[in-house]
Amino acid sequence: MPNIPARQDVPVEETWNLESIFATKEAWEAAFQEVDQLAPELKKRFEGRLGESPKILQTWLEELQAAEQKLLKVFQYAQLNYSVDTTNPESAAMAGRSGGLASRATAALAFEEPEVMAIGFEKIKSWMEEYPGLNSYAHYFAKLERKAAHIRSQEVEALFSQVADPFHTAAQTHGILVNADLQFKPAVDSQGIKHEVTHSKMRELNGSTDRKLRRNGWKSYAEGHLAYKHTMANSLTAGYKQDAFFAQARGYQTSVEATLDNATLSVEVFHNVIEAFKANVPVWHRYWELRRKVMGLNKLHVYDTYAALSDTQVDIPFTQAVEWICEGLAPMGGEYVKTVRQGATVHRWVDRAMNKGKRFGAFSYGVKGSQPFIMMSYDNSIYSMSTLVHELGHSMHSYYTGQTQPWIYSHYGLFAAEVASNFHQALVRDYMLKTKPDRAIRLAVLEEAMSNFYRYFFTMPMLAQFDLEFHTRIERGESPTAEDMNKVMARNLQMGYGKGVIVDEERDGCLWSQFSTHLYSNFYNYQYTTGIAGAHSLAAGVLKGKPGAVDNYQSFLKAGGSLYPLDALKLAGVDLSTPEPVHQAFRDLDGYITQLEELLLG
């Protein structure tokens, strides 16, 4: 079995540039101590005074932003360090301390929203007319007025902030189990060779053309999670109970209503995804049947659904991936492409090493005042290239927002975030299919497209339905078990796969346990589906040379949190309040299947 290196043995060029945040851990510690004193000082100086005058209110908002930026810098450094080596006790301790720091600071400053609301929004509007310095906060005040009915007293808001850190224990427990404690048995291939099973290796194992290897890899991975299924189910139930608690405490009927209202979205946006998925599930059945024919199987198992359809694998070194990505993004303009290229190479945005203890999955983390950071495990596959271009989309969103918006508007919601990442993928995929006639490359790109849609247009709607069902059960006072969760997940999967795919109730049904971040983020998953739908719609405009499409899209990236997400996306050119973009994306998916049929069946 090939050895995966320890973190300290990874070449520096394969790691991100955390020194750009703090040069040393001692510098981080000094900043931690400074920030730990900052929130209590602000509380002492401003609590009870925000309504004294427009000048006091503006001064508070300016100093609050500066304090939050310092806090996020400390938090960011600690969390990023931990994510690349979850087995390092020092990094784990720093991450835990940073979470506690954030909780204490939030609790200390919880007087803000109740005090601002007590001023009265009509009075605040008159202050903005008299005192132009407050005008830049107009959208902030409008958002606060919108959610005023769900803001509690200063004492209650402080309590909410204080429990945020201990309430996060459920998600942390699940994450520690998955990222640090799970052990997987080696997977044996058809030649009797053992292969190490890790989170980062599952893409390779799932995609193997050796059916015995992928079956054994799937079995090992599932059974590793099943060994802790009761603990994970208890943790997830606790997470869902916390969602229900906060929804009820803020006066909402349901968790889904609370979540979408907080993001200024209607509940219909969520249900549109579920209904559009169900209406288009025959598209997926068509794809499974194509795979069955090409693979020469009587029946597919779920472990066959990611298998490569060709023995020829395209090797894409990191530098080649960056070059192809930049060529694919050419329609966005020279300055945009230059920023992407330098970020991925010169400025070391990307931690691409595959090492022991590295967190599962991939993410981009961008905070105003620092460069974006991407965590992933790059393995020279088309899928790693896809992940890289996806995360670079997030990073460019963070980059443009950070360059354009003040701190108060430098955070954009998840609903908008997934559009930027999938937009990148749509552009690069189109470029590859149009300019690379090599059959192996075309097949790899189409398989990557199907894999991407598989995750965002199949798995994520499945998890969204799971989210809804178990939040609803919790709100009815039930306490679900691991067996309940497996059964519901397997039932949903069987509907999506259809009669042509065999679903194992336990090993496939434990899919929920393999998402230690997504299911603790309170109705996060459906936003991947709306994201890819919006992205394909916007990419089509850019690729067709639609007047203003590039400028409008970049305006969306620059808007950050200065607009409500639906309004920012309408500025870019897509309306995600309706299900039509989702239906159109299914038509795009159907087109990829047609291209695969032509390539594989002639």
| Active site residues per annotation | 391
C-alpha 20/C-alpha 24 separation (Å) is 10
Phi, psi of 374 (to 5 degrees): -120, 125
Q: Which residues of 500-537 are buried (b: 16+ CB within 10 A; e: fewer)?
A: ebebbeebbbbbbbbbbebbbbbbbbbbbbbbbbbbbb
Report the candidate in 366, 396, 363 with the shortest Cα–Cα distance to residue 557.
396
DSSP state of 459: I
Q: How far apart are CA 114 and CA 148, in angstroms?
A: 9
Name the E strands within 156-258: 187-188, 194-195
Where is 300: in which H helix or E strand?
strand 300-301
DSSP state of 15: S
How many Å apart are CA 10 and CA 376, to the nearest integer? 14
Under 8 Å between Cβ of 6 and 355? yes
Question: In this structure, what DSSP letter does residue 314 have?
Answer: P
At 396, list the tokens.
């460019």
Q: Which two tokens stand for residue 498?
A: 């259809």
Angle 318-328/382-404 helices, nearest 10 degrees?
Answer: 60
Retrieve residue 386's tokens.
């896809």
Q: How far is CA 124 from CA 127, 140, 150, in A?
A: 5, 12, 19
**CA quadruple 489, 493, 499, 502: dihedral positive or negative?**
negative
Here the tokens at position 561 are 């949190």
- Percentages helix, strand, coil for the chain (3-state, rounded to 5) are 70, 5, 30
Count of Cβ atoms closer than 10 Å to residue 410 Cβ: 23
DSSP-derived 3-state class of residue 31: helix
What are 308's strand-pairing partners?
Answer: none
| Sign of the CA dihedral running 24, 74, 387, 432 | negative
* E-assigned strand segments in 117-207: 187-188, 194-195
CB-CB contact of 168 with 175 (8 Å): no
Distance of alpha carbon 339 from alpha carbon 386, whole angstroms: 18
Please name which of 501, 462, 491 lies closest in space to residue 303, comparing C-alpha atoms. 501
- SS3 assignment, position 194: strand
Distance CA 251, CA 156 (A): 13
Q: State which amino acid sits at residue 492.
A: N
Specify whether the CB–CB gap between 443 and 599 falls below 8 A.
Answer: yes
N- to C-terminal Cα distance for the chain? 39
The tokens for 170 are 């459920």
